[in-house]
Amino acid sequence: MKLYSRSGISDINKQHDFRMSDSLGQNFLTDRAVINRIIEESFIEENDLVIEIGPGMGVLTGEAARYARKVIAIEIDERLLPILDHTLAEHDNIEIINKDILKTNLREIIENAKVADSSINGVKIIGNLPYYITTPIIMKILEEGTPAESITIMMQKEVADRISAHPGTKAYGALTVAVQYYCDIYHVADVPRTDFVPQPKVDSAVLRLEIKKEKAVDLLDEKMFFICVRAGFNQRRKTLLNCLTGIGGREKDEVRKMLEEIGIDPVRRAETLTIDEFAMIANHLKLMTGRQVLTGMCK
Q: How far apart are CA 85 and CA 91, in angstroms?
A: 10
Distance between CA atoms of residues 44 and 74, nearest Å = 18
> Domains along the chain?
6-211 (3.40.50.150), 222-298 (1.10.8.100)
Q: What is the mean pLDDT of each run of 10 residues along the chain (299 residues)?
A: 72 82 82 95 98 95 97 96 95 97 97 98 95 94 97 97 97 97 97 93 97 92 96 93 93 96 97 97 89 36
Measured between alpha carbons, how far is 50 from 61 in angstroms, rounded to an integer? 9
Rounded Cα distance between 196 and 60, Å, is: 14
**pTM of the predicted model, to two decimals?**
0.91
Q: Is 97:109 a contact under the CB 8 Å cutoff?
A: yes
- Tabulate helix, strand, coil % of the chain (nearest 5): 50, 15, 35
Report the alpha-carbon distance of residue 52 to residue 96 in Å, rounded. 9
Question: In this predicted structure, what is the pLDDT of residue 18?
Answer: 85
Closest residue by Cα to residue 199 from 12, 1, 20, 17:
20
Q: What angle do CA 152, 155, 158 make, to 5 degrees?
A: 130
